[in-house]
Amino acid sequence: MAAEGVPEAAAAPAGPRAPAWPVRVALLAERSSTLVVTALAILSALIVGAVIMIVTTPETLGAWGHVLSNPARALTTSWALIETAYAALFTGSAGDPAAYVHAFAVRTPGAFTNAFSPLSETLVATAPLLLCGLSVSLAFRAGLFNIGATSQLIAGAIVASWVGISLPGLPLAVHMPLALLAGCAGGAAAGWIPGVLRARTGAHEVIVTIMLNYVALNLIVYILSLPFFLGPQQVNSISRAPAGSALLPHLAGASLRVNAGILLALAAAWVVAWLLQRTTLGFRFRMAGASQDAARAAGVDVRRMITLAMVLAGGLAGLAGAVQVLGVDPQLVPAYGGEIGFTAITVALLGRARPGGVVLAALLFGAFQAGGLQMQAATTVPLELVQVIEAVIVFFIAAPALVRAIYRIRTQGGGFRLFSQGWGG
């Protein structure tokens, strides 16, 4: 009963109420639809990859050339090729179930190494993809398109390598964190340049980051000509390795390459998710990404947000470079990092620019990279087919309406939206 003199309606304190059940159902349906479309996009890419395998393999082409006289041979030959290729892709990335059973039955180091080696290689490939994917997705959420993960990764690798080489007497507990922080700082500096140019002069970050990629690729060539990095009597363009006290520890013994870099990448994903969803700074990033005019009207310093977002994005990519040089490829070479920076754009798109989605997307692409080698060894299918499958995944992800039309999925609203601003944004 309400107190005397107090209206009944005012007796209960007013507070934030949970959204009505129709709203919660609609949000759940939208998220479920997004997951379904993403899964079907991956399935569609695998189907396209299977068709490409059939039409590019001489044996299956020969069988289909006589399909009218022997249709069973054409079908069985094609299925055998697809089954062998995708089975090798799976076992090369996740491991052979029979090898796991054997390892736990005999319990010898060699058996465990053989069983867990594919999974180890997948996690090794996942770590830099995850960190660079987070870099790209963080910029997306702030309304920026960071195509400079390659330059930021290289900058981080150079600085981390310099710290790892120049301070060999430090203990592991000091040297390794210092090298990792140096890699973050190097990447952040490379991200600060396009950020401050966009914020202060309006120079578009897409053009600036693309140009900085070429600057970094040529900078590392110059770096590898310096005596400090080459060491005594070194003539080829391969740097010295960092001191052992700076290297990341292995998680499963020296026989498996998986190292603490994957733990750092997962921790970074959690930090980015917390930053975007639980902090005022993350809210301001998202405001600036949704509408810079509205953010300004709300009192947000948009120029500061742009600069800070690119600095943080660069720091994540720089950490990827540090993880690579301190845990995977300790010697710098020209074009260090390969296609990691550009593949990270695909990872961020597939992950819908959300940290959780980026984790899953990086794991998928890491599995593709690790399993692709096994697929090439088991069949005549070239490794480049994996890149084709990745490209087709992006094609379907960027066109969710096409996936819904192919599989006749009812539209739930939402769809994919690129978080970065356009050329005039």
The DSSP code for 11 is S
The DSSP code for 335 is T
Between 412 and 3, residue with greater pLDDT:
412
Residue 260 counted as domain residue: yes
Paired residues of 82 in beta bridges: none
Name the pLDDT band for 180 (thresholds 50, 70, 90): very high
Residue 349 counted as domain residue: yes
Neighbour-count burial of 219, counting CB atoms closer than 10 A to its CB (0-12 exposed, 13-18 middle, 19+ buried): middle
Using the structure block, give the residue that is written with the tokens 């959420």.
Answer: 141
Model confidence, pTM: 0.86
For the segment 109-129, the average pLDDT, to the nearest whole number, is: 92
Q: What is the pLDDT of residue 395?
A: 82
What is the token pair recorded at 72? 């069973």
Paired residues of 250 in beta bridges: 259
Whether 175 and 243 have beta carbons less than 8 Å apart is answered as yes
- Host domain of residue 341: 126-363
Length of the chain measured in residues: 425
Residue 410 counted as domain residue: no
Whether 126 and 262 have beta carbons less than 8 Å apart is answered as yes
For the segment 270-281, the average pLDDT, to the nearest whole number, is: 95
What is the token pair recorded at 41? 């996009």
Paired residues of 259 in beta bridges: 250
Residue 325 counted as domain residue: yes
Whether 342 and 167 have beta carbons less than 8 Å apart is answered as no
Whether 183 and 156 have beta carbons less than 8 Å apart is answered as yes
Q: List the one residue out of 140, 119, 125 whose CA is nearest residue 340.
A: 125
Q: What is the pLDDT of residue 184?
A: 97
Residue 118 counted as domain residue: no
Phi/psi region, residue 54 (left: phi>0; alpha: psi -120 to 50; beta: rest), is alpha
What is the token pair recorded at 216? 């970094």
Give percent of the chain with pLDDT exceeding 90. Answer: 54
Phi, psi of 57 (to 5 degrees): -105, 125
Identity at 358, one-letter amino acid code: V
Residue 409 counted as domain residue: no
Gap between the Cα atoms of 147 and 213, Å rounded: 8
Looking at 136-140, 225-229, 264-268, which range is the least confident one? 225-229
Q: Count how many domains the chain has.
A: 1
pLDDT in tens, 373-393: 888 888 877 778 888 887 888
Looking at 5-9, 147-151, 341-345, 404-408, which range is the least confident one? 5-9
Q: What is the pLDDT of residue 168?
A: 87
Residue 3 has pLDDT above 50, yes or no: no
Q: What is the pLDDT of residue 208?
A: 95
Q: List the one residue out of 315, 184, 320, 176 whose CA is nearest residue 248.
A: 176
Name the pLDDT band for 425 (thresholds 50, 70, 90): very low
Q: DSSP letters along 235-280, please?
A: -SS-PPPPPGGGSPPBSS-TTS--BTHHHHHHHHHHHHHHHHHHSH
Report the chain's terminal Cα–Cα distance, integer Å. 57
Q: Is the dihedral angle over the CA atoms 263, 267, 268, 269 positive or is it negative? A: positive
Residue 369 counted as domain residue: no
pLDDT in tens, 13-45: 444 454 555 555 544 555 666 778 888 888 888
Kind and range of the H or E run holding 387: helix 384-398
Q: What is the pLDDT of residue 116?
A: 92
What is the token pair recorded at 338? 């390969």
Residue 7 has pLDDT above 80, yes or no: no
Whether 324 and 337 have beta carbons less than 8 Å apart is answered as yes
Whether 175 and 245 have beta carbons less than 8 Å apart is answered as yes
Residue 201 has pLDDT above 80, yes or no: yes
Phi/psi region, residue 333 (left: phi>0; alpha: psi -120 to 50; beta: rest), is beta
Residue 114 counted as domain residue: no
With H, G, I as helix, E, B as strand and everything else as coil, classify residue 333.
coil
